[in-house]
Structure 1
Amino acid sequence: MAWWGDKTLADVRRSTCEAYVAYRMTQPIKSFTKSAPRMVTAQGARRELEDLSAAIGYWDGEHRLTRLPKVSLPEKPESPRDALTRHQVARLLKAALGWRLKTDGTWVRLPGSAAANRRHLRRFILIAVYTGTRPGVIPKLLWHESPAQAWVDLDDGVIYRRGKDEKDHKTKRRPMVRMPPRLLAHMRRWKAEDEKTKRLQDDGEHAATKRRAKPAQRAATVLHHGGRPLAGRIRKGFANIVHDAGLDGEITPHWMRHTCATWLMERGVKVWDAAAYTGMSTATLEKHYGHHRPDHQAKAREALGGAR
């Protein structure tokens, strides 16, 4: 509003959009509280301009404009769509178990409660790699059926990526996914662990009631901190295990989704099946991951003298 508040739709031009991006890149991110704040990036300003464009289009749908201005956006960088190898995922899991890779190639166990504090990260990695579920959905997974939130059905071996009454997104689909046997085994073990902890908490709560102590927290979500649902994203904790695993700092939680899609393509899974499994469109899967398929460009190779 500080930039656009005194302007009209006639002022929405390429030059003003470019000036807005330059203006925003001189400002710190409000949610960043450290002494050396991070500044708004061109891509951050792009997302804000996309909101402006959507607002203009929404208004035009109700009150037809005589001239629909075009919001000029900064060029969007090509997503790397990188995937991890199985060895790299194994290193991430070991770091999530409370270990750190030293420069000499040996592993050292971290002191204190590092392993317990990273338990939710182990669960996240396995769910994300085995199902390709978006990182924003996994922390919401409940152990019980829900009309408004993603949940797990261990009897049928299914993850419902949205609540029974939730509507699906047009672009970010959240179809149900049937868990592979290895993940289902992990899930059942985790549920048993949480139920055991709950029983101990119930016993402790009974004792606490007698002495009027604060009741213990109970785990309702698959990912949790000592029974407490995660308060926000897992980026910070994930960045820590990436560092301790000796991997590239650019690796983010979303890479787990890329990894799942890439592995499916490398195994020759049909595009339609892989798209339905991960919740991607077939066009997205073909565009960004199709080159990983064993039969990629097979017709072209055959036309030039053989399949090799």
Structure 2
Amino acid sequence: MSDVRRNTCEAYVKYRTAQPIRHGTTGRKASVQTARRELEVLSAAIGYWDDEHHLTRRPKVILPEKPESSRDALTRSEAASLLWASLGHRKNADGWLTLSGSSKTNRQHLRRFILIGLYTGSRAGVIKRLSWTESLQDPWVDLDAGIIYRRGRNERDSKTKRRPLVKLPQKLIAHLRRWKEQDAGKGVATVLHHGGQPVASVRTGFSTCVADAGLKDVTPHWLRHTSATWLMEAGVDLWTASGYLGMSGQTLEKHYGHHRPDHQSAARKAFA
């Protein structure tokens, strides 16, 4: 712990951001935020030790500045293009090109991922682990009640990422029922699967759909931003929307509140 100083923390960030990311072959490097999260783990470990042994001098872990998230969201037409790409199509200068039949089959799990993400705003980690049956360890779907439980019966919520259940809209329930019928008799336990096997990551396939839809720099987390933005644009009250998304009302208001139809309405009326 005597090595934890400002210059070593800054040197770690510099070193870490020169390392390639583990997934994919894009050549991308680890981000400053990745280094920041790892340093936060180090800080937590020091704090844990301090609670047990009461350090005479607890070193301070210096973190890089946390950038403001862009909170980008898809428009309705962009979301439609992304879904169309997941159906095995590619946008070009002349319109849409239909790809081979295998492309549609290979992207089946991506269609499910995109629709669940847009309709519920659930995090990617939750959607990838969704089970068709009640689970102690994983999120699961209860089609009879029309609910997605975002955590298993024995899982505990973290302090920073809430995972409340979400009551599903009828359109998504219809999709889920159709998907479950398709999976019947195949021995498939998870909602998202590729060739009957659980999906570990959607990043590469999602990036391909983004490119085929004519979009750029769209990540899976955009689906959560999009869901939150659309709820605000529809005028859903903050308490209801935050509970639906599993997001604090403070975060929702801070980052998405400006999309509400009544945003700053009192100030605008004052100048009428």
Tell whether the structures are fold-level matches, with TM greater than 0.5: yes
1:72 maps to amino acid:
I
Pairing of 1:126-145 with structure 2 (within 5 A):
126-145=115-134
Contact 1:99 1:110 in 2 (8 A): yes
Aligned equivalent of 2:203: 235
- C-alpha separation in 1, matches of 2:19 and 2:219: 25
- C-alpha separation in 1, matches of 2:209 and 2:24: 23
Q: How many Å apart are 1:68 and its aligned residue? A: 2.3
2:10 corresponds to which of 13, 18, 21 = 18
- C-alpha separation in 2, matches of 1:253 and 1:44: 17
- C-alpha separation in 2, matches of 1:258 and 1:24: 28
Contact 2:88 2:101 in 1 (8 A): no
Give CA-to-partner distance per residue, 1:86-114, whole Å, 9 cap, x none: 1111101110000000123x111112400
Paired residues in the alignment total 272
- Which of the two has higher C-alpha Rg? 1
Q: What are structure 2's unaligned runs of at least 5 residues?
A: none
Pairing of 1:1-308 with structure 2 (within 5 A):
9-29=1-21, 31=22, 37-104=27-94, 106-195=95-184, 198=185, 218-230=187-199, 232-248=200-216, 250-303=217-270, 305-306=271-272
Structure 1 residue runs of 4+, over 6 Å off? none
Q: How many Å apart are 1:302 and its aligned residue? A: 1.9
Distance 1:41 1:193, change over 3 A: closer
Q: How many Å apart are 1:133 and its aligned residue? A: 0.6
- C-alpha separation in 1, matches of 2:24 and 2:96: 33
Distance 1:267 1:108, change over 3 A: same
Distance 1:131 1:27, change over 3 A: closer
Give CA-to-partner distance per residue, 1:250-288, whole Å, 9 cap, x none: 101100000000000011111010000000011110111
Give CA-to-partner distance per residue, 1:161-194, whole Å, 9 cap, x none: 1111111111111100010011011111111111
Q: How many Å apart are 1:32 and its aligned residue? A: 5.5
- C-alpha separation in 2, matches of 1:37 and 1:275: 36
- C-alpha separation in 2, matches of 1:32 and 1:127: 23
Distance 1:70 1:163, change over 3 A: same
Contact 1:219 1:226 in 2 (8 A): no
- C-alpha separation in 2, matches of 1:32 and 1:186: 30
- Superposed CA RMSD in Å reads 1.6
- C-alpha separation in 2, matches of 1:82 and 1:150: 26
Contact 1:128 1:138 in 2 (8 A): yes
- C-alpha separation in 1, matches of 2:111 and 2:17: 36
- Secondary structure in 2 aligned to 1:137? helix
For normalisation by structure 2, the TM-score amounts to 0.95
Distance 1:38 1:131, change over 3 A: closer
Give CA-to-partner distance per residue, 1:185-206, whole Å, 9 cap, x none: 11111111111xx2xx5xxxxx
2:264 maps to amino acid:
Q
Contact 1:136 1:233 in 2 (8 A): no
Q: How many Å apart are 1:61 and its aligned residue? A: 1.5
